[in-house]
Amino acid sequence: MPLARRVMEAFGGNKTVDEKFDGLEAKLANLERKVKGFNKIVGSYMKDLKNFQDTSLSGAVNLLSYYEDNPGMPMHALLGKMKDFHQDNVETKYPLLVKTVDERVSKALDEFTKELGQVRARVKVRNEARLSFDHYRVKIDGLRKEREKYVSQGNLAAWKNKEKFKRNEEKFEASKLRYDTLNAAVMKEMQKLYNKRFTHINNFTSSFVKMQMFFWSAYGKQCSSFLGPMKAALQRSSAMTTGMASGQSPAPVQEHKAMEPPTQARQPDQAAMMPPSSPPSRPLEMKNEPPSLPSRSPPKAKPKKKKKKKKSVVAATADPGYGAYSQAAPPMSGGASMAQPPGGPATSGGNVFDDFEF
């Protein structure tokens, strides 16, 4: 096709317009841009996550270095476990995560991108057929107008472009048939792909969200296992530091299991919590003096007459059947009450970091 025709087509000159095709093409083009953008987001996410893991490992190594001159400190063992935890994430967990993302998220994105690319290639062939069709359509329209001019003058025999008209008319019919066939087939493919778009979208979006949630859930559980041991290690370290500052030799430090929560305090024995009982009385036969007998028999008691209880009038505002629950409840053990939970008042705002301090 001549370059002039392509330039004219680029500026929209005398172009065949199919609004339904143009609408589908715009939808698929917008969808393809989003998919390519999400593919870049996944790549950036994995890169940033790798930087996060590397930085966490570097931080753990730096923190551990402060205790190298005194490995007996409880924090030394805890930070050693933390360093191993981050190193395992960098060397083992992250490569497994990359493999999972490649197999689940990236693969689903690539499959959808591949189908979009195949349709886009078909659209390109269709557009070439439209350019050819428009070229011969414009050309044959010009020849028809020229022939009609000669016919109106009654001088058709003098027209010199009869063979040219016949030749271009055949090319026009062939280009029109090819364009109509390709346009119908490509539109069918475009509509089919657009209708099943959520099959691909649900696949890679759900895989990406599940990957995030499972990873950070497992990571959070591992991180939270350090909080209890760190509290115990800090308490022991504080006692050792106080003793060292006063000139006393620090007590020997037992091995601390960093990944296990601190054991609960030993509960006192049940016997120790019982009130002291009075000493048992000696049996009668073991006493030195014999038991004294009463000087006279006690008088017989007269049976008391049962008094009839008067029925109390219940007020109209009373709640019958709940009188036993209307009294104040006895205080709970340890001074706690129903309004105040044993663990203390709930933090306002629901911020997860409100209870960060030990």
Q: Are 83 and 54 in contact (CB under 8 A)?
A: no
Residues 262-296 pLDDT 10s = 443 444 444 444 444 444 444 444 444 444 444 45
**Least confident segment among 80-84, 249-253, 305-309:** 249-253
Distance in angstroms (rounded) separating the CA atoms of residues 4 and 258: 78
Q: Does 130 have pLDDT greater than 60?
A: yes
Query: How many alpha carbons lie under 13 Å from residue 8 in its C-beta half-sphere?
Result: 14
Residue % of the chain over a pLDDT of 90: 54
Residues 325-334 pLDDT 10s = 333 333 333 3
Planar angle of CA 42, 48, 51, nearest 5 degrees? 145
pLDDT at 238: 84
Task: With cut-offs at 50, 70 and 90, classify the pLDDT of residue 125.
Answer: very high
How confident is the model over 106-132, as a mean pLDDT?
Answer: 94
pTM of the model: 0.60
**Least confident segment among 186-200, 208-222, 237-251, 298-312:** 298-312
Residues 65-103 pLDDT 10s = 999 998 888 899 999 999 999 999 999 999 999 999 999
pLDDT at 303: 58
Q: Which among 179, 248, 206 has a CA at the least distance from the CA of 16? A: 179
